[in-house]
Chains A and B, each alone.
Chain A
């Protein structure tokens, strides 16, 4: 779904969301509540300028609209793969965006992530994945790497990866896999306004993804290992 259809599906005509370059921003009204909208479109690569532009929007919201909920709309092919970005320390720019979102959360802004088209690796970590909770449309795609490329890098035959991915959500692309592992809280279907309202009503403030992953059977070890680390060497 393109971003214009998406914001209309969520907010009807009650929004002022616009596009500047590949960054989308503005506000939307949901049942009387104003939300800040920050995101990207056209599968854009997150280079230093786009990371900074999004950070700016989040900081402006924190400064000018205390407490306003933030909806992060994710569509990215990942971090920009250029020498210039690395030279100028792109990881610092992206970490800054993540820290701005973290600050917003700590100052009482709810932050909801939505993968509405595509989310890849690095570009996703400091946007949707750092929200209170991240959701996805069913037709969205989330991945680190496609199986053919993964087969080349890991030197494991693609057929083997293909066969294993049918029963194990741990490496293959797909939003369902991320739901099973707790990384995506749920898929939004049907009435998107209602889905957002529900997210605002129920999104947890603390990180529950590991326990979600265990409860859903998609990531059985993370929560258990975290508990073991907490318990190890502590006298009973």
Chain B
């Protein structure tokens, strides 16, 4: 009897070791992949970075004929289109999530929830052709002339809305991106609001708070960390989105003061030009663009983490 038990125990020990090594390998694999991506990007980008130095990120010029490449235009486009998307999608997603969790009549909850998930499942190419053939003409004929006429005259922010209405451009790309990241932001925030304990909300109501006061003073502060997570998820997607943006941004390597003008993002520039990139320096410059996108995304995540840690310290580590 004792011998059988020993054999069993020994087998268990082996299983334990095998299992441990297998999970360790899986974890290390992630590090290897990440390291590999980083290393091959740096390797591929090296000729361009070596040639242009810091000028690669500070110069706007992008001229394949003279072999002069600077990434400032696409970097600007990437950041500005993502900011526009966030500006539009975060408040909307926040409103959707609040409505679904706190105000929505039960029979409407499921249809709206399913609609949001379906919106997230639409392939980006669909948003691209829709943006080009449907949204851009509407913006060109309706929205942009209105913006030029009414907001264009305002000092300071007016310069963002001047020039001819192209239809396609930075603003259009931002709007399409906003629609694309909206379901992610709304769904994440809804899930976060759903985790607020009923008892906590009832405590607020118990002190005579109205629905709005409970939402604003209790639900939202309680969900801060998760909300930041949702915004970062959307931002990460907006920064890297390629196909739809390539359709509607106009693909011009320059920085215009006006949001109505065409521009480019890092991802759209790479997608657009990789097939026609002749010469090592051109190819290398495109890879260097990819490296920059990698770094921008990495920075965003790092900032988000720092922000979360700060929030956590404020609340005494109990979130």
**Same complex:** no
Q: What is B's interface to A at a CB cutoff of 8 Å?
A: none
